Amino acid sequence: MDRQPRQLLGAVEGAEFVELPYTQECCGFGGAFSMEHPELSGAMLERKIANIQACGALLIVSCDAGCITNINGGLHRKGLSPRAVHLADILGNF
């Protein structure tokens, strides 16, 4: 299921695709999960943000609005410049 978005991103001229370390790990949002387990959710988000910083990407592309919102919130609170966007935002400008 993750093959198709990667193929679409690969077709974007001038873009460099960088795989996020541990990309399959959850960002910690998971709907009610973040409310029921805030400490664990926060730790998961911290790891995701550390992985974003490790790969050096300025733009993180996702197909999940909850992940985008959670990641952007964490990045904003830390004053970091990378931003998460939906795949449709990238393809809409292609």
Phi, psi of 13 (to 5 degrees): -65, 135
Which residues are within 8 A (CB) of 84 and not within 5 positions of it... i.e. 6 or more apart? 59, 60, 61, 62, 67, 68, 71, 72, 75
pLDDT tens digits for range 28-87? 998 899 999 999 999 999 999 999 999 999 999 999 999 999 999 999 999 999 999 999
pTM, entire model: 0.91
Domain boundaries, the chain: 22-92
